[in-house]
Amino acid sequence: MTNPRQLAFIALRDVHKGAYADVALDRVLQKVNLPDCDRRLVTELVYGSVRRQRTLDTLIDQFAKKKSHQQPQDLRTILHLGFYQLRYQERIPASAAVNTTVQLAKENGFSGLTGFVNGLLRQYLRQAGEQGGSTSLREAAPTATLSDQGAGGQRSRGAEEKDSLLVPQSSVTHFDPLELPENPVERLGILHSFPDWIIQVWLEQLGLAETEQLCEWMNQSPTIDLRINPLRTSIEEVEAALQSVGILVRRIPHLPQALRFIGNTGSIQKLPGFKEGWWTVQDSSAQLVGHLLDPQPGEVVIDACAAPGGKTTHIAELMADKGKIWACDRTPSRLRKLQENSQRLNLQSIQIYTGDSRHFAQFQNTADRVLLDAPCSGLGTMHRHADARWRQTPESVRELSVLQRELLTHTSTFVKPGGVLVYATCTLHPAENEEVISAFLSESPDWQIESPSGVELPDSTERTPQGWFKLWPHRQDMDGFFMVRLRKTNNSE
């Protein structure tokens, strides 16, 4: 079976049964040998339909007599695919989107409902003011997909190839069949397909205009950044090697090891320098964390939640691979990935330690520096994980904040007097960031926030009066991150 839409349907059916989107997609694609263009289409249909689920459900609610949750699950999935193509894929003719969706219904047990599917999609087109042409509402189809992925389901987005955004709000009422409520939280949630609670968290921090910009950014396909390994090569050498095979990259200000892919990359593992350990995939925001920690050659450093190892290996590079890094994590399978990466990068200073950092007593007062890259809700990286917005809840955030406070309280005991701890997350929720740090400092008089010297941060990085840093994706064009450097006073016991 090589029909891209049928493959997308199978993957989405698994997602709706609870599978992670990237796992379901990989499972389907591994069973077939598709041309790159078809792989890209399958990937776009799966990730896009998952990402835009709330908007697509709202369209079903609006045009069908039965609400989306009352439809048979497989039929709902088929309608998602149809509406997604009509609304967001300008390179697919509307007639082809309708006809292939009707065919999907026929081939998957809904031959008696093909007229319903056809009528529903054509009703949407009529309201959009077209009869099978290209709709003025759509967003440009992203150019890079699974065949271009690096680690973690990331996809390349060229600097000049970002998805175009929906037409301005002033025009939406004229062209857009999607009916939106007046309430700003619900309106943004339906238009950009996020749960209301996430919209509310952002609105409280950013206001309406920037929240909409952030929503639009999070619905783009992610970039792939790499970090060159200065112990094996130079940034100029990596640039030349990639250019020799037609791969374009650009440098990222303030990050001496960072390059960003522009356009499609093909298989990451086959690019020049990957097997040789010249570079590894790591987003620019994550690279900033290593510079904030500022490890020095010969020091003892503990990475308390290390897997899969991007920041651990960066620490080793910054230390010139001299000293000792204890890489701790409770998940053996993810630590194996760390071990593979450190071997490929030819790093010798990393020692792996399996277990929960909250229960380690042997590290007390042993480390010059500790990195706590805490488990979090990942609200700063939802563009990389299509289903993350639907998996997290206010309750899961509360549970994570408890875990984060426990980890911070315990791992702070690893630090020698006068040493440094960096707390970092890839979320944008104050309950996991500012509130965790404030609570820790109120209970720990021997700790204080330290403003880093010599660390350049991207322009418009939010530097709060309290001394912590927030990277907002729509401002810096990189993953959302929170980070703060803490110093243990010398008179601590």
Q: Which of 305, 328, 376, 426 is catalytic?
A: 426
- Is 426 among the catalytic positions? yes
* Token pair listed for 88: 């967001």
Tell me the C-alpha distance between 419 and 150, whole Å: 35
Within a 13 Å sphere around the CA of 419, how many CA atoms are in the beta-carbon half? 25
Cβ–Cβ under 8 Å, residues 410 and 452: no
Q: Are strands 350-354 and 324-329 parallel, antiparallel or unpaired?
A: parallel
Q: Which position has the token pair 């048979």?
A: 72
- Just list the catalytic residues: 426
